[in-house]
Amino acid sequence: QGQLTESGGGSVQPGGSLRLTCTTSRFRSWCMGWFREAPGKEREGVAFIRSDGGTKYAESAEGRFTISKDNAKDIMYLQMNSLKPEDTAMYYCAADTRKYGGTCSFGRVFDSWGQGTQVTVSS
């Protein structure tokens, strides 16, 4: 397994924006994703991206969040716009380092996880 490190979290007002960054080391992955976990709730998938650029979003993120990846630098991003209080959560990046190809979406098993970065949206 490689290492994943998230950054870019913080506190913003509703309607604000943040860009999360996930840096990777020692591996490349066909499928990566962003997840979040709010207090008292289960971890949920937010967005997923394949190495060929294909993406998938949770309904709550569609139209507001954009996942992207710089394959040359092995960095993944999550641009979050129009943030809402319900977006408040710990955000994690994850990668499937064992399987190449296939569907990159909800239900995929990810074996490498970062430590998380906190996003707080409040006025």
Quick check: 94 and 4 in contact, CB under 8 A?
A: yes
pLDDT tens-place string over residues 5-34: 999 999 999 999 999 999 988 677 889 999
pLDDT tens-place string over residues 64-76: 999 999 988 889 9
Contacts of 17 (CB under 8 A, 6+ apart): 79, 80, 81, 82, 83
Q: Tell whether the model's pLDDT for residue 1 goes beyond 60.
A: no
- For residues 63 and 65, give the distance between their C-alpha atoms in angstroms, rounded to a whole number: 6
Q: Tell whether the model's pLDDT for residue 100 goes beyond 70.
A: yes
Question: Mean pLDDT, to the nearest integer, of 85-101?
Answer: 94
Q: Tell whether the model's pLDDT for residue 103 goes beyond 70.
A: yes
